[in-house]
Structure 1
Amino acid sequence: MNKQARPRSVKSAALFCLAWVSLFAAPGMADDAFPPPGSIEIPAGPFIMGSDAAEREAAYRLDEAAYGHSVTRQRGWYDHEPQRTVELDAFRIMETPVTNAQYAVFLKETGHTPPSVGREEWDGYGLIHPYERAQPYIWQSAAPPAGRENHPVVMVSYQDAIAYASWLSGKAGKAWRLPTEAEWEKAARGPDGNYFPWGNTFNAALLNSHDAGPFATIPVGSFPDGASPYGLLDAAGQVFEWTATPAGDTRHIVKGGSWDDKGCGVCRPAARHSRSDTIKHILVGFRLVSD
């Protein structure tokens, strides 16, 4: 990892999270004093959504070089990203994914079930990851796993994300919701159709992926040089993120790539696939938008 892309101090991030939790959990705190989450404004206007043949070819070649095979090409992973110009209204989006510390406040106030999954349920998902790989992300109480306070929350279903958005809207006095696929993609790549948040050339030092990462989540905002043109952080790698765009009756589109991926064709903002609304995956988190 180069000097410019070095992650922020983990100690500083942890101190920030502890202060954040203390502030949100202060006794007798009125809702109108609730501090809004850090967010950035995405201006109204058009942007290029999806990919053209040149971008898809570049993505397949990255995967082939990283994995030594052509499975993503053979399965046509990136063949359903039609490029078009999309017009959107202005909105605000959280700068980073929701963290464990932020999610913990929601759990303590609502009694919502903490992120957890049993072996039988996990095995039923049919994932390549063994159950043992999920265990570091399982919460034993309403407090997050030690040392992961400023990591993105994972193992949250689509319904969990919706419940958090409803709670946050009430606390902040402002409506928060999951972004549409188009909103997420514009915030992540800018208006001009960048292949990656930072440009068209893949750089493993600018994101948390399996190419150069620790094969685990890390504190959010650790790669400021990997920001999108609007300043969105963790938009490639780290964790996939739920969107409000359906892909059938019980599935929704997720975007962004994860710490488990390398190549990293799937880490492009144009890349897309769906997950079951009920899955609680170690690779999937979320962030919210407001109008």
Structure 2
Amino acid sequence: MDPTVKFSGSGPTVMDWFAWTDVPAGQVAMGTPLDEIDEVLAGLPDLDVRRAWFVKETPRHVRQVAAFLITTHLVTNAQMREFTRRTGYAWQPIAADDHPAVAGHDDAVAFAAWLAERSGLEITLPSEEQWERAARGADLREYPWGDHFTPNHANMDRHSLGTTAPVGSYPKGASAFGLLDMAGNLDEWTATEYHPYPGGGPEVPVEETHALSRFVTRGGGWNHCRDAGRCARRHGVYQAPAFVGFRLSVTR
């Protein structure tokens, strides 16, 4: 079955309803060293970006991440539509069935909780460290596919389609573990509320009072410039309407 196109409840468990990627236990180098922030900015000379947006990803620190499963693709409109059909949950798609679902954080959590209840599995949104581990792997790549932004690898920046694309439309942009659309298409919710990383300096904001949600987003979307697609970039929802989607994770 192709889980990117049609949602089906015919399988023995919800694991059969999605394509999953198995991410082994290992370390991830989260974030960026403070002394490299200026270098990152220098590499984006054509963009109107601010240092304050990037210091949130400092300091770099290593975290051990337990093995987990994560959906290879963003959750689609077809999959969310089936959730609403079976439960009466109020949500409306804004694109075709095989496009990623634009959803609020509460919508994403409700879908994950429904699947968890049906399956008996601990299905949640990925944490920030799970997301970065799935995107970056064990190395220090700048983007999910490598160190340099490549236009045909993601639906974002100057080569954006101006809307979402069907999930998996950019196979050259596969991440370290083969996940698709980790940069571009839709920004992605995580389960992590924004807080400074341990050891963050005085430049790092303690909270983001201007954000419309306390939860961190990752990856950037079709409406973002390429800086938001960097593996280390900590993003958020700062204006409405918000074009944010989500993946699901299961801790092993």
- Confirm or deny: 8 A CA contact 1:217 1:238 kept in the other structure: yes
- Counterpart selection for 2:220 from 232, 239, 257: 257
- Using the size of structure 1 for normalisation, the TM-score is 0.73
Inter-CA distance 226–59: structure 2 relative to 1 (3 Å threshold): same
* Alignment: residue pair count: 232
SS of aligned partner of 2:158: coil
Amino acid aligned to 2:28: F
Partner of 2:162: 215
User: What is the Cα deviation at residue 80 of structure 1?
Assistant: 1.7
SS of aligned partner of 1:76: helix
Partner of 1:153: 101
- Confirm or deny: 8 A CA contact 1:47 1:86 kept in the other structure: yes
Inter-CA distance 208–54: structure 2 relative to 1 (3 Å threshold): farther
- Using the size of structure 2 for normalisation, the TM-score is 0.83
User: What is the Cα deviation at residue 53 of structure 1?
Assistant: 5.1
Instruction: Report the RMSD for the aligned CA atoms in angstroms.
Output: 2.5
- Confirm or deny: 8 A CA contact 1:181 1:243 kept in the other structure: yes
User: What is the Cα deviation at residue 54 of structure 1?
Assistant: 7.1
Mapped partners of 2:135, 2:154: distance in 1? 13
Mapped partners of 1:280, 1:113: distance in 2? 19
User: What is the Cα deviation at residue 268 of structure 1?
Assistant: 0.5
Mapped partners of 1:256, 1:290: distance in 2? 20
State the identity as a percent.
35
1:191 corresponds to 2:138: yes
Partner of 2:85: 108
Partner of 1:283: 243
Larger radius of gyration, structure 1 or 2? 1
Inter-CA distance 151–16: structure 2 relative to 1 (3 Å threshold): closer
Mapped partners of 1:33, 1:171: distance in 2? 8
Amino acid aligned to 2:12: D
- Counterpart selection for 2:233 from 259, 263, 271: 271
User: What is the Cα deviation at residue 58 of structure 1?
Assistant: 4.8
1:200 corresponds to 2:152: no
Mind listing any 5+ residue stretches in structure 2 that lack a counterpart?
195-206
User: What is the Cα deviation at residue 199 of structure 1?
Assistant: 0.9
1:42 corresponds to 2:20: no
- Confirm or deny: 8 A CA contact 2:4 2:167 kept in the other structure: no
- Confirm or deny: 8 A CA contact 1:36 1:172 kept in the other structure: no
User: What is the Cα deviation at residue 189 of structure 1?
Assistant: 1.2
- Confirm or deny: 8 A CA contact 1:211 1:261 kept in the other structure: no
SS of aligned partner of 2:55: coil
Question: In the TM superposition, what whole-angstrom CA distance separates every residue of 1:77-120 from its partner, at most 9, and x where no partner exists?
Answer: 11121211111110010001101011001000111111xxxxxx
User: What is the Cα deviation at residue 210 of structure 1?
Assistant: 2.9
Question: In the TM superposition, what whole-angstrom CA distance separates every residue of 1:231-288 from its partner, at most 9, and x where no partner exists?
Answer: 11100111111111112696111111110112x1111010013338xx8744211111
Amino acid aligned to 1:56: I
- Confirm or deny: 8 A CA contact 2:228 2:235 kept in the other structure: no
Partner of 2:185: 238
- Confirm or deny: 8 A CA contact 1:55 1:195 kept in the other structure: no
Inter-CA distance 204–56: structure 2 relative to 1 (3 Å threshold): farther
SS of aligned partner of 1:235: coil
- Confirm or deny: 8 A CA contact 1:165 1:288 kept in the other structure: yes
Q: Greater helix percent: which structure?
A: 1
Inter-CA distance 188–180: structure 2 relative to 1 (3 Å threshold): same
Partner of 1:76: 52
Mapped partners of 1:196, 1:202: distance in 2? 7
